[in-house]
Amino acid sequence: MPLIDASGLRFNGFARPADPASLPEGDVILPLARLAAEGEAVLARGDRLGVELPNTAKLDGIEPFLDRLALISIGFPSFADGRGFSLAKRIRGRGYRGRLRATGPLIADQLRHALGCGFDEVEAPQELVARQPVSQWLAGLAVIRLRYQRHASRGVSILDQRLAARRRFDERRVIHAA
């Protein structure tokens, strides 16, 4: 599946196990169910470790690995199911600094929202990217400039702008009333 970030297509250096009995060489993304059993083996051989989470996952399962995970991939079963956005915010809130990937049928218009929630990239199905080429994803970033999510590294949100405007209004009102 193509991998898209704020600059366009990016290379995916992580492999997923093809079957439950295999563990590919190199950097690997493990399903959450396999993380506890095989994560240490991947780390011991010096490869980068990633985990694939459903959007309903509890963070307890990844807590022991959180500071050692190079990538967390959160699945989106549908573009209309936004639970993955909330999960991304919670993961970033716990201090995770590695790559955060949204995987599934998100649409181009959701890239700005995904970045605002802390995602670094979106892994979209090939058929979706054929319908919405990368140029459309990047154009959406240029057009959709405002966002509601607060995220320290991504600028000021609409809510922060409204709060600042309200404070300025209140300050002017106090000055004029005096």
Q: Taking the model in full, what pTM does it have?
A: 0.79
The first and second tokens of residue 96, run together, are 């995770």
In the chain, domain spans = 3-145, 146-178
- Residues 6 or more apart whose CB falls under 8 angstroms from that of 150 comprise 157, 159, 160
- pLDDT (0 to 100) of residue 127: 93
Confidence check: pLDDT of 153 > 60: no
Which tens digit of pLDDT belongs to each residue from 44-72? Answer: 888 999 999 999 988 887 888 889 999 99
**Domain 3-145 indexed as CATH 1.10.10.10:** no
- Residues 6 or more apart whose CB falls under 8 angstroms from that of 87 comprise 53, 55, 57, 74
Which tens digit of pLDDT belongs to each residue from 67-87? Answer: 999 999 999 999 888 899 999
- pLDDT (0 to 100) of residue 147: 60
In contact, 71 and 53? CB cutoff 8 Å: no
